């Protein structure tokens, strides 16, 4: 609609200024989720770094399988290890706080009083690795690109409450929200920024082998596609002297060498082909990490006790499959896994069973629901198992004598009530369909764990088979949800939020490439995920996490695995 009265230029500018800034809280170079940031505005470096650390040398690490892409923001291809070194974000988190943000590309963050927008001021010194300065237009382009259909769907789950990105001036970008979202301004500080010139005339979903034009501390020096990639520190990195970058990114070069699997890479490690290895397999840790280089001290082997949140790992049921839609079937299968036997015979007693989706943290549900949890759960009581309200969930255990036999008897009873019975030595349902499924694997080594599990299931008449495929095929099938069961994990932070939509919410269940591997579509889970996201303080977040934990655990969506503490 046209304005009938012409506005005076000065009045127009003043009006726009008032409109844009009157509802904004005071600008700050830092922000945190429910607490005062640890580091003052004039801090010089993070406490956990050495600001005077020497620079130089080459660090060689290992990758597994292969890679064919430098673009971590799309579904297509397998991204090379280390690409995070190429990209800077608007702000950066400290590693010694639950959830805080400090300046990087953005100098300041301003959350509106009505909580319906956040404004970032861009550091005029920020530059891409081609020398171009970073502007608000670049931030908007990057955000709009990752939110498009050409990017990985995870960003739509993360930033789904963002209405749009608005350029205010050359160095000011505002994100407008669809609704208040307590952590959205913070996770927007994690938006990666890249140059439009990187894309040139290529569609973003096909941009795989073009070196990124971005602003991170490293650039790609050289690569042999699928075999190795070398990153070189950018000596002209614009953020070298920022407090959030002091004492970091000290190696002149970082190289990743690729090996077919973890067993092969172990032999390469022992031979000195690369310098650091985090061991995933208890058997390898207990029996294979030895030899002359260990004896001489060239290789240092060390156990580190930690108190980090461990999330959940398990044998995940794909509930999109008909056989796994019944919670009773899932429960019966879980009863057949003997963790204690595996831990003693296979894991050298190195593991602890996963007993929560937030294992090893205060977010884990314990005991019976509190009054505040019940306030969330009671409106949905008719949709939830009674056990959510009157039992403290416990993982399947075989600590007591003869308990495996007892567990299998319980599994038979559960299956019988669900309409399954043994016919000619085979467990079938009312339609005479057998209970058979396959486990899709990406790494050798799980077969020794699955074999005794399969034997226990066979006693119930259930047939479980397992197959290891190459990494590229595995990733493709995972993205397509083309599996019955997988070994999967849900890592968590101490401040979970919008990322949970990508893991457990109905909106992600049918979105290929999402992390809702299980295919959960449950209005109660949706409500609790939203409650976590919308928590106004730490106490509310913990309560909502406890409630979600109970509902997920009693949903028997997986067979819990293990972790090292």
Q: pLDDT by residue (tens digit) across 28-78?
A: 999 998 889 999 999 999 999 999 999 999 999 999 999 999 999 999 999
Residue 209 · residue 79 · CB < 8 Å: no
Q: Which residues, 6+ apart, have CB-to-CB distance to 482 below 8 Å? A: 476
DSSP string, 99-141: SEEEESSEEEEEEBTTSSEEEEEEPTT-B-TTSPBP-HHHHHH
Which string of DSSP letters, residue by residue, matches 269-312? HHTTSSS------HHHHHHTS-SHHHHTTSS-----------BE
Which residue bears the tokens 């101490």? 494
Sign of CA dihedral 477, 479, 482, 483: positive
In the numeric block, which tokens belong to residue 298? 């060239």
pLDDT at 308: 87
As a whole number of angstroms, the distance between CA 190 and CA 175 comes to 13
CA–CA distance, 276 with 291 (Å, rounded to integer): 16
- Measured in whole angstroms, the distance separating CA 550 from the mean position of its chain's CA atoms is 21
Pick the closest to residue 221 from 88, 82, 77, 62 (CA basis).
82
Q: Which of 308, 294, 399, 425 is nearest to 359 (CA)?
A: 308
Domain annotation for the chain: domains and CATH numbers:
63-258 (3.40.190.10), 312-563 (3.10.105.10)
Tokens matching residue 525: 């889970």
**Low pLDDT (below 50) residues in the chain:** 1-24
- Residue 320 has a pLDDT of 98
- pTM given for the model: 0.86
Give burial (CB, 10 Å; 0-12/13-18/19+) of 521: middle
SS3 440: strand
- Residues in CB range of 72: below 8 A, 6 or more apart: 79, 83, 84, 87
The SS3 assignment for 393 reads coil
Give the residue from 80, 109, 342 showing the smallest Cα distance to 218.
80
Contacts within 8 Å (CB) and 24+ apart, 276-281: 276/59, 276/61, 277/62, 281/445
Q: Sign of dihedral through CA atoms 392, 313, 300, 233?
A: negative
């Amino acid at each position: 609609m046209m304005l009938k009265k012409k506005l005076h230029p000065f009045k127009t500018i003043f009006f726009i200024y008032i409109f844009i800034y009157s509802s904004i809280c005071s600008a700050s170079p830092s922000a945190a989720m429910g607490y005062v940031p640890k580091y003052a505005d004039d801090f010089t470096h993070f406490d956990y770094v050495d600001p005077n650390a020497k620079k130089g040398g080459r660090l060689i690490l290992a990758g597994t399988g292969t890679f064919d892409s430098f673009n971590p923001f799309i579904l297509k291809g397998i991204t090379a290890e280390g690409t995070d070194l190429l990209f800077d974000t608007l702000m950066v988190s400290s590693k010694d706080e639950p959830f805080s943000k400090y300046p990087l590309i953005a100098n300041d963050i301003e959350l509106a009083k009505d909580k319906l927008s956040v404004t970032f001021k861009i550091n005029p010194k920020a530059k891409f690795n081609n020398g171009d300065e970073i502007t608000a237009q670049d931030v908007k382009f990057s955000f709009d690109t990752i939110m498009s259909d050409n990017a990985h769907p995870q960003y739509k789950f993360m930033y789904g409450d963002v209405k749009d990105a608005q350029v205010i001036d050359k160095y000011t970008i505002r994100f407008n929200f669809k609704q208040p979202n307590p952590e959205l301004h913070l996770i927007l500080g994690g938006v990666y920024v890249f140059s439009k010139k990187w894309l040139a005339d290529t569609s973003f979903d096909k941009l795989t082998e073009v070196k990124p034009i971005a602003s991170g501390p490293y650039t790609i020096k050289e690569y042999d596609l699928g075999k190795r990639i070398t990153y070189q520190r950018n000596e002209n990195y614009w953020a070298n002297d920022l407090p959030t970058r002091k004492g970091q990114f000290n190696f002149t070069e970082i190289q990743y060498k690729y090996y077919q699997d973890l067993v092969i890479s172990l032999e390469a490690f022992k031979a000195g082909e690369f310098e650091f290895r985090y061991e995933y397999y208890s058997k390898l840790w207990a029996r294979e990490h030895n030899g002359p280089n260990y004896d001489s001290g060239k290789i240092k082997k060390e156990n580190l006790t930690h108190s980090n949140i461990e999330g959940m790992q398990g044998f995940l049921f794909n509930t999109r499959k008909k056989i796994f839609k019944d919670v009773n079937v899932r429960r019966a299968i879980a009863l057949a896994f003997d963790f204690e036997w595996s831990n003693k015979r296979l894991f050298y007693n190195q593991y602890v069973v996963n007993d929560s989706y937030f294992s090893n943290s205060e977010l884990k549900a314990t005991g019976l629901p509190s009054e505040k949890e019940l306030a969330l759960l009671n409106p949905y009581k008719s949709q939830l198992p009674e056990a959510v309200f009157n039992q403290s969930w416990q993982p399947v255990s075989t600590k007591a004598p003869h308990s495996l036999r007892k567990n299998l008897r319980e599994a038979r009873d559960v299956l019988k009530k669900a309409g399954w019975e043994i016919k000619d030595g085979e467990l079938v349902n009312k339609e005479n369909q057998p209970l058979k499924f396959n486990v899709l694997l990406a790494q050798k080594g799980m077969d020794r764990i699955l074999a005794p599990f399969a034997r226990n299931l066979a006693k119930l008449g259930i047939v479980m088979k397992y197959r290891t495929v190459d990494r590229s095929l595995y990733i493709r099938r995972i993205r397509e949800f083309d599996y019955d069961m997988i070994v999967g994990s849900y890592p968590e932070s101490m401040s979970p939020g919008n990322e949970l939509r990508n893991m457990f919410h109905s909106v992600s269940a049918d979105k290929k490439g999402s992390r809702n591997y299980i295919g959960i579509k449950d209005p109660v889970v949706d409500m609790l995920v939203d409650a976590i996201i919308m928590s106004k303080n730490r106490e509310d977040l913990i309560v909502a996490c406890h409630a979600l934990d109970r509902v997920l655990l009693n949903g028997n969506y997986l067979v819990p695995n293990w972790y090292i503490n």
